[in-house]
Amino acid sequence: MMIGSKKRAGNAGFTNQVEYLLTDTVPFAIQEAYKMIRTNIIFSIPDQKCKKILVTSALQGEAKSTTAVNVSIAFAQNQSRILLVDCDLRLPTDAKKLNAQQSPGLTNLLVGMCTLDEAIQQLPSGLDVLAAGDIPPNPSELLGSPRMEQLMKELESRYEYIILDTPPICAVADATILSKMASGVILVVRQGIATRENVNNALEKLKVANAKVLGIVMTGAANEKTKSYSKGKGYGYGYGYADNYAKAQMQIGDQKNESH
C-alpha cells in the first residue's frame, strides 16, 4: 500500500509532512487507502479468532504510529472489536494523537499498578486504547516478560483485532521481541527516509524472528511525476509530493520472501 502525504508550507523536508488522523473529513483517497489495508489484513489471516497485527518501521519518523492509529480507527469504523496497544514504551505518541490519557497504561499494567479495566480506555469512536503508560527503565524486558504473554492471551478473549504499535525495528529489539506474539507484521516505509538497505535490514530481523510479514505500507508517497523512489540505492528520495494522497497501490502480501 502506497500512501502519499500533504505538504505543509515551510522548508522542504520530510519532517514537515502533515499526518492525517482518519476521520470523515480527510480526503477520500486517504480513507480508501486505510480501508484497503483493513481489507487485506482481514483476508491475510482468515483462520484466527483474534488477529494480532504488529506495526513497525525500520527507522524513526516513518509515520508508523500514525499508520497504526489510522488502521485501528478503520477497524473501529467497521464495527470490529479492536484494541490499539501502544508498545512504544520509549517515545509513545498514540495517546496524544487520540486525545487520550497516557497513564495508567501498558507499563502500569505489567508491573501490577492497575487492572486491565482501569488501563483500557474506550473512545467515542468505538476504538479501545491501551496507552503506553509511564516510561519504564527497561522496555525490552517488560515487553518480553511472561506477564506480557499472559496479557496478550487475556486480550485475545476480548477482541477480534489487536494492533501493536512498536518502536522502529532497526533501532531497538522491542518489535522483534513482540513479533513472536503477533499474527503478522506490517512494515511502514516512508519515502525519502528509509533506504533499501534499511528496509532489507528490517525484513531480515523479522525473518530471523520467524515473523509473518503481511506487507509494506509506504507513506509519504510521491505523485506520478516522481520516479526516483524506485531508482538507485535509496528506497525513496522523491521530493515531488502530491497535495492529496497518491492513488493507493496495494503491496500487502506481495513479499518476495516466500518463508513469510
Residue 82 lies in a domain: yes
Mean per-residue pLDDT, 48-76 = 95
CATH number at residue 141: 3.40.50.300
Please compute the mean of the pLDDT values over residues 143-157 and round it to a whole number. Answer: 96
Q: Averaged over 60-70, what is the pLDDT?
A: 95
Is 248 domain-assigned? no
Burial class (CB in 10 A: 0-12, 13-18, 19+), 122: exposed
Q: Give the number of domains in the chain.
A: 1
Residue 126 lies in a domain: yes
Name 167's Cβ contacts closer than 8 Å, sequence gap at least 6.
56, 87, 88, 89, 90, 91, 139, 174, 175
Mean of pLDDT over the chain:
82
pLDDT in tens, 30-42: 889 999 999 999 9
Q: Decide if 29 is inside a domain.
A: yes
Range of lowest pLDDT (23-27, 88-92, 136-140, 229-233): 229-233
Could you read off the pLDDT of 179-221 as tens digits, one per residue? Answer: 999 999 999 999 899 999 999 999 999 999 999 999 999 998 7
- 240 in a structural domain: no
Domain limits at 35? 2-6+21-230
* Structural domain contains residue 13: no
> Given pLDDT bands bounded at 50, 70 and 90, which one contains residue 237?
very low
pLDDT tier, 226 (very low <50, low <70, confident <90, very high otherwise)? very low
Please state the pTM of the whole predicted model. 0.80
Grid cell 492529496 in the structure block, residue: 244
Least confident of 17-26, 168-177, 206-215: 17-26
> pLDDT at residue 5 above 60?
no
Using pLDDT thresholds of 50, 70 and 90, give the confidence band for residue 48.
confident
With respect to residue 226, please indicate whether it lies within any of the assigned structural domains: yes
Domain-located, residue 253 = no
